[in-house]
Amino acid sequence: MEFTAATIAGFLEGEVEGDPKTVVNNIAKIEEGFKGALSFLANPKYEPYIYTTQSSIVLVNKTFVPSSKIDATLIRVENAYEAFASLLRLVDQTRPRKKGIHPTAVIEPSVKVGSDVYIGAYAYIGDNCIIGDNCSIYPHVFVGDNTRIGKNCTLNPGVKIYHECVLGEGCTIHAGTVIGSDGFGFAPQSETEFMKIPQLGNVVIEDHVEIGANVAIDRATMGSTIIRKGVKLDNLIQIGHNVEIGENTVMAGQTGIAGSTKVGKNCMFGGQVGISGHLRIADGTKIGAKAGVPGNVKKENSILLGLPAIDHMDFLKSSVIFRKLPDLKTRVDNLEKEVKTLREK
């Protein structure tokens, strides 16, 4: 599909600088551009590429001031990154969507299936499930008994949703993710034996949540593990039983949240963050990659780094000392030798 600079500018409410009839039919990174491709420039460190890129059209911020001649046609917008994301969504929506139910899919007679639903090969939908309108359920998906899935959801290949879980509208679950597996509940019976505690709750995922590949979200022991609306989870994340994740919180890959912890809304966690169980994390908290949180975070909009996690400014001050530790040790050793010499005299 081809678009002119004028058409793209109209969609983005931008301004064309150059030939409005320039045509593109593909997208590319600005450093890998080619004729007929559209790119964007948002990060200043990529500015040198705009003077050499072969892309036909480049989205730039309205505030961008070039320091040299640019061959590409520019479209100036308020935010080039957001504008590019809007174009990607437009392109994605033009892709043909699979429809119909594959003959190898197994759908129990008590299931209620909405209109315009796609169910792929070897998918299984259990007793008394409800599948909302316009859902796409790809091959080898398992949906356990009494599960409810809202409208416009996408379950990618190999997703497993255990019994009695609830998905809101507009959710996307990527391949290999397991929702509703048992929480890690075991009571010690002796020094060498543990008794499994039945996990009788479920998982509730609200509207417009996106969950990456190979994520595990445990069902509650009692009640619900809850993922609030707008949450975005990266790949390889572990959410323990009875955890609650607040609205619009985002987490990068390999983050782990232990059981019964409540995470506030609008939080941001870097990769490999670990949070202990039964904690409260305040709204707006930002936690840097590889940080470990052993206690409650009470102050909203805190920024934490390190293990154990501390305020980011304290961590940065401490890191200066960390780097000096070898020198400090040498100085202490020398001082000890001098004190020893003085004592001997």
Are 274 and 255 in contact, with CB atoms under 8 Å apart?
A: yes
Residue of 102, 163, 174, 241 with catalytic role:
241
Contacts for 169-175: CB closer than 8 Å, 24+ residues apart: 169/132, 169/207, 169/208, 170/207, 170/208, 171/205, 171/207, 171/208, 171/209, 171/210, 171/211, 172/209, 172/210, 172/211, 173/210, 173/211, 174/210, 174/211, 174/212, 174/213, 174/215, 174/235, 175/213, 175/214
Q: Which residues pair with 281 in a beta bridge?
A: 263, 297
User: Where in 268-330 does DSSP place strands (E)?
Assistant: 268-269, 274-275, 280-281, 286-287, 292-293, 303-305, 310-311
For residues 232 and 254, give the distance between their C-alpha atoms in angstroms, rounded to a whole number: 13
Contacts for 77-80: CB closer than 8 Å, 24+ residues apart: 77/12, 77/13, 77/14, 77/15, 79/42, 80/40, 80/41, 80/42
Are 38 and 23 in contact, with CB atoms under 8 Å apart?
A: no
Active-site residue flag, 208: no
Round the CA-based radius of gyration of the chain to a whole number and report it. 27
In what side-by-side order are the strands of the sheet with 250-251?
100-101, 118-119, 136-137, 154-155, 172-173, 210-211, 232-233, 250-251, 268-269, 286-287, 303-305, 310-311
Are 82 and 101 in contact, with CB atoms under 8 Å apart?
A: no
User: Which residues are designated catalytic?
Assistant: 241
